[in-house]
Amino acid sequence: MPLNVYASPSFARVAKKLHARDKKALDQAVQNIAADPTIGEEKRGDLAGVFVYKFKLNNQETLLAYELSPNKQAPAEVILLGLGPHENFYAQLKR
């Protein structure tokens, strides 16, 4: 059963500003996540339940945060939460 992928408003705002070639790399990363939802690293503490997938975008490591819903054992959907470089990424994600 394929997973439904949803984007949060903050993720959509960042993704909308990307160039076409960068959107292709982002689309590939989202497809990788949809194919294997546990591919990202699960966070702990304040960000428990959030997974972060790292990929290259313009030769820079970019982080893509997502949640699995309703739970990580049997996910039905992926909710994309945030996208950006490592700098201040987790602080912004907590907000």
Say how far apart CA 78 and CA 95 lie, in whole Å.
20
pLDDT of residue 51: 95
* Structure confidence by residue, pLDDT tens digits, 36-70: 998 999 999 999 999 999 999 889 999 999 999 88
Say how far apart CA 43 and CA 20 lie, in whole Å.
30
Domains of the chain (ranges, CATH numbers): 4-94 (3.30.2310.20)
State mean pLDDT over 65-76. Answer: 89
Say how far apart CA 3 and CA 35 lie, in whole Å.
8
Residue 73 pLDDT grade (very low, low, confident, very high; cuts 50, 70, 90): confident
Say how far apart CA 34 and CA 30 lie, in whole Å.
6
